[in-house]
Amino acid sequence: MMRSETLPDRLRKLRDRMKRPFDADKGGLDDAAVRAAYARWAPIYDMVFRALLYWGRRVGVKRVNEFSGSVLEAGVGTGMALPYYHKDLKVTGIDLSEEMLAKAEQRVRGGRLNNVDGLLAMDAGALAFSDDHFDVAIAMYVITVVPDPVKVMKNLERVTKPGGHVILVNHFSASEGLRAHAEQWLARYASWVGWNPVFAKSRVLGHTNLILEEDQSVPPFGLFTMLTFRKPEA
């Protein structure tokens, strides 16, 4: 008869699991895990993340507001950025999570945001828009959430007009030090928290024809980065 596991046995297994190296290329995420995670987050997302993500969102929206025309916000979430886009922009938001989109729709109705052209349930890695559709595409805190970041980058490039811009605001992981150790530990729970803490900047560079124009560190504590790309003229 097999003996039942004792608490020390379980703690030992947990310790051994946490010592195993994390494979950043696998990411630990798939669409089902992302949907499940953000269904959990949706009711409390604004309360938990509003302050932490405020500065990056502010910098990203400010950059978008320097341009004109049509805007795609990929991973619009609960729509926290939507009230701050210039009123003369035409904004479309997409997100994989219908629970998050429901919150965004409430925000649009409550704020009478007439510049929001639509909120659609859609995979950022399979955008259902025609080529050269938007003047600007922005993805804030998204690229570490998706299972295939390169596919997302290629889709953002495809739907952006020649001469238009693609903007990323995101956390990119450290290669050493205390922060790197913390990110490696948290990465083991990527599928539960719904994002990948171990994500090098190189994973979004050099995979498309997009030209990197700006690499800006943003608060708090330089934890986030804004990358601004330009799509070459046809």
> Quick one: which of 149, 160, 162, 105 has its CA closest to 123?
149
Domain regions of the chain by residue span: 24-230
What confidence score (pLDDT) does residue 33 get? 61
pTM above 0.85, yes or no: no
The whole-angstrom separation of Cα 165 and Cα 65 is: 12
Mean pLDDT of 32-55: 68
Phi first, then psi: what are they for 38, rounded to 5°?
-80, -15
Mean pLDDT of 153-171: 97
Mean pLDDT of 8-30: 49
Higher pLDDT, 45 or 140: 140
Question: Is 226 in contact with 214 (CB distance < 8 Å)?
Answer: yes
What confidence score (pLDDT) does residue 110 get? 95
Question: Is 91 in contact with 82 (CB distance < 8 Å)?
Answer: yes
Share of the chain above pLDDT 90, in %: 53
Centre a 10 Å sphere on the Cβ of residue 170 and count the other Cβ atoms it contains: 24
Share of the chain above pLDDT 70, in %: 68
Any idea which fold 24-230 has?
Rossmann fold (3.40.50)
Mean pLDDT of 173-189: 56
